[in-house]
Chains A and B, each alone.
Chain A
Amino acid sequence: MNFDDLIGHIGQHTVDGLSKGAIYALIALGYTLVYGVLRLINFAHSEVFMVGTFAVLGVWTALGVENNPPIGQAILFLLIGFVVAAIASGGTALAIERIAYRPLRRKNAPPLIFLITAIGVSLILVEVFGLLLPDLLGKAIPSMFGRARQIVGMPTIIQQETLFTIGNTQITNVQVIVVVSALVMMALLDWFINKTRYGRGVRAVAQNPETAALMGVNQERVIMLIFVLGGIMAGAAALLWSMRFGITQNSIGFVLGLKAFTAAVLGGIGNLRGALLGGLVLGVVEVYGATLFSSQWEDVIAFVILIVILMFRPTGLLGESLGRARA
């Protein structure tokens, strides 16, 4: 138990936790959107994120990005990375919906069948990116060649530097970018769901699918929309992850996905703002816990939080439901 470190550097740990939690929150949105509309845990969403990181790796390699480019180029690379990751992740999410979930929905399959299918899809994606792609793309992406199922490094786009210091808390430029971009993405999504015509359709289907259908909302289109939106958010998370940590691996999605799911449940699954809150809280608690005990217990903390939340407050901090999200 390392209380001194925790109390002495509480500001630093909070900042670290927030910048970690912002990425969880972005991924959590994907779970929350799909759950809010379909009451379905999209287990394969973690792999949507994983595909995003590989898309970033691919496009940066194709552009010949080197370590620490000048600032103008860096911004350009980040923007291109975001667009490509969003397309890749959104496309993957949409493909999963069309190929795996839609046939099951038509048969009115029980929830467990969906879950098992999702696990299968997730396994397929993990293996395709771990095994097939290193062989196929080995020449195009040298850092992946011969590294089946291993960690692949990426160029550093922005060197971590301390931007400003408050007390003994150092805040780096990368942390600021991560948190600010995550907040912007979430504000955009919140606006989209609450203020636009399409968003109204999403909320309507979430509240009552049958009535929404009677009112002329095209359910299938809404379902496609939420998968794509969740995918785009995962793509953004993938870009921020690549920028912050500079590595990826085919199995990266598993633990991150579980944590993002925990974040979604913590905030109240189906609730967009809950996902943000849950992600940030989880990130901070995790860093606190890792400081208190030791970083090797970090993953256990998230699972224990998940179990405790589900036992005592299964609707999460802000309550479930996309339809009735405080709009």
Chain B
Amino acid sequence: MIDKLRDANARRATAMAGFGDRMRALPKWQRMLGVAALIAFLYYLPLLGIPGLTWLRTDSIEGGSNWAGVLFTCAVYVLVAIGLNVVIGLAGLLDLGYIGFFAIGAYSVGLFGSLNSPVVKWFQQQFDLPPTWAVTWAVCAILALVLTMISGVLLGWPTLRLRGDYLAIVTMGFGEIIRIIARNAVGVTNGPQGLSAIPGPEGPPSADNEVFGLIDVKPWYWLAITFVLVMVFAVRRLEHSRVGRAWLAVREDEDAAAVMGVYPFKFKLWAFAIGAALGGLSGLLFASRYAFIDPTQFNVNLSILFVAMVVVGGSGNMVGVSLGAVLLAYLPERFREIADYRWLAFGLAMVLVMILRPQGLVPSRRRTRELRDRAAEVKEAPAHV
């Protein structure tokens, strides 16, 4: 049974690899055309109505379909996956506290943008500002990026010198600390009550908003997918730059990289900061769309879900992690009847993928080779088993 699965896997892997190679072999203008068509399709998606695929129940509108809402969730998760992929897939650092950055991003727009937030009220009192004053969304977005990057560096500075598995546990502790602070620091974050009326690009949520309203989610999806595309482009450039090569070198052999003049700590810190910023950006989108956040939304299970998206999809490969994110976000929504079992399914998926296909569904070529090398080392030295 397992052998059969492996065979099927291998066949599919060759087919997939063939697809990638064929894409790369096309002339540049054809490739560009393909990419443009894909982007156009992504923007068109929420208007699509394929029965079965887009049939998604919603509780907010009677008999309505939540297709655009689910697409938005998928897009946010893809953004998370791309950010976490920089940390896990490219730099090889297992970060189990990614939800912490997501939460910081969400809370930066909540704390500085919402009229109900104690921080905004404090500013109003201190500087005699009108009661309608709050930091505008665009500034909040920049704040979110800056704050998450700083927190990434603050977390990374002491911990990135640790061995990989210690790092994982410490980052997990970090995620919990952020959640506990959000819960306990009532004077700053409103504690368990959460923050409401978090603004979007058009200002505080209200029925009068023309584009980013509460009911029509399509604009939110378009906003999110724009962020995703920009970030895919940026991370892609980074991956194929000196920095990206340094990450791969550090991931595959830290000592060798150091000998070659790549200072591992510096590049790990960069990966951490960039990953954190992307996590913050997705948290920002999430908070703005739902206009409400509270600490229970940022529990450790989500961190594990994020890791699952990356490793099931294929860490190191952006197409892979995006696929992983879309699958893990879409399937529980589509099959709501069994959505209660989704965590069980995620756990099973993680274990099965790790045992049968550690490189993920859509593997990164380099990573596959690395794992194969390690397996071959065992065969050469059977006494080691």
Contact = CB atoms under 8 A, between A and B. Distances in A.
B350 A112 contact: no
Given A108-B374, A123-B343, A254-B300, A113 B173 contact: no
B61 interface: no
A120 B169 CA distance: 15
B375 to A, nearest CB: 5
A110 B170 CA distance: 19
A258 B184 contact: no
Contact of B169 (A131, A258, A296): A258
A40 B166 CA distance: 10
A304 B180 CA distance: 13
A282 to B, nearest CB: 13
B177 interface: yes
Contact of B166 (A113, A254, A314): A314
B8 interface: no
For this complex, into which size category does the number of interface residues on chain B fall?
35 or more
A100 B355 CA distance: 7
B385 interface: yes
Interface string A281-322: 000000000000010110110111011001100100000000
A184 to B, nearest CB: 29
A124 B349 CA distance: 10
A298 to B, nearest CB: 9
Nearest to B96: A119
Nearest to A303: B173
Contacts of B346: 120, 123
A170 interface: no
A53 interface: no
A128 interface: yes
Contact of A120 (B173, B183, B354, B377): B354
A103 interface: yes
Contacts of A307: 158-159, 170, 173
Contacts of B341: 127, 131
Contacts of A115: 94, 164-165, 168
Contact of B351 (A43, A121, A258, A310): A121
B215 interface: no
A265 B170 CA distance: 11
Contacts of A116: 94, 307, 311, 350, 354
Nearest to B97: A303
Contacts of A180: none
Nearest to B351: A120
Nearest to B344: A127
Given A111-B164, A131-B344, A310-B162, A213 B383 contact: yes
Contacts of B383: 210, 213
30 contacts: A41-B165, A41-B166, A104-B355, A107-B371, A107-B378, A108-B375, A108-B378, A109-B371, A111-B165, A112-B164, A112-B168, A115-B164, A116-B350, A117-B351, A120-B349, A120-B350, A120-B351, A123-B301, A123-B304, A123-B347, A258-B172, A258-B176, A296-B180, A299-B176, A299-B180, A306-B169, A306-B170, A307-B170, A311-B158, A314-B162
Interface of B: 88, 92, 94, 96, 158-159, 161-162, 164-166, 168-170, 172-174, 176-177, 180-181, 183-184, 300-301, 304, 307-308, 311, 340-341, 343-344, 346-351, 354-355, 358, 371, 374-375, 377-378, 383-385
